[in-house]
Amino acid sequence: MNSCIRRYGLVLKTDGLLRKCGYEINVQIYGEDLEVLAIELVEAVARYLETEYEILPNETLGYGSWITKIQLNDCQELMFFEQVPLTGDYVLGITTTLKIWVEQHAICAKMCVKHSVPLHDQLIVISDGVFEGDAVEGVRYPSPEHMSGWWITTDRYNGDTQTLKTVHAHHVAEHRPDLVKFLALPFGYRFHEASGDVWKDKNQTDI
């Protein structure tokens, strides 16, 4: 990365992108414990910009299964906002985004597996009751690239696959933020949301 990152209280700003990309990056966090992760996000976005990709104002950007939105302020800075769980609202900062990132990595580290977060536009198979808040079980199968591999079902599922539907991963995050921490588990793993149990599916071979 050709630019540097400077800290102003709980605000991180790049210095050096303006000349090349036309704007700097401005990220606000609410907790010093998230600074290292915030720097990683800023560096990732800066690298994206420096490879001549363009990020437009009001564009959404998925990071670790959560959705952020970018707005350009009067100082030519791209400012990050994040979606509030269970609402369509956005607030300044990336605290929820980073906390979910921490939770996902913690579960994967506990299971000694590689973090494998689905892209926000990949599809997840769900049954009735998932968006309604019922207790769920999830299993992740090897799948085509447009699919995340996740199948998430409740007790309302009667075994008829015709009753299942596919939704984008970000819609699951929006309706069930309590499930997002499990979604970075790799193919072959299951979880039980109510108990928090996670285990390798014995019926799936190692990937």
Output the pLDDT for position 1: 58
Yes or no: say if 75 and 11 are a contact pair by the CB < 8 Å rule: no
CA distances from 60 to 67, 78, 113 (A): 7, 12, 29
Yes or no: say if 118 and 183 are a contact pair by the CB < 8 Å rule: yes
Strands of 189-192's sheet in order across: 165-168, 123-126, 147-153, 137-140, 189-192, 197-200
Structure confidence by residue, pLDDT tens digits, 22-46: 889 999 988 778 899 999 989 988 8
Query: Taking the model in full, what pTM does it have?
Result: 0.80
Q: Work out the average pLDDT over 193-205.
A: 87
Q: What's CA 141's distance to the chain center, in Å?
A: 19
- CA nearest to 137, candidates 191, 181, 188, 184: 191
Terminal alpha carbon distance of the chain:
34
Structure confidence by residue, pLDDT tens digits, 120-150: 789 999 999 999 999 999 999 999 999 999 9
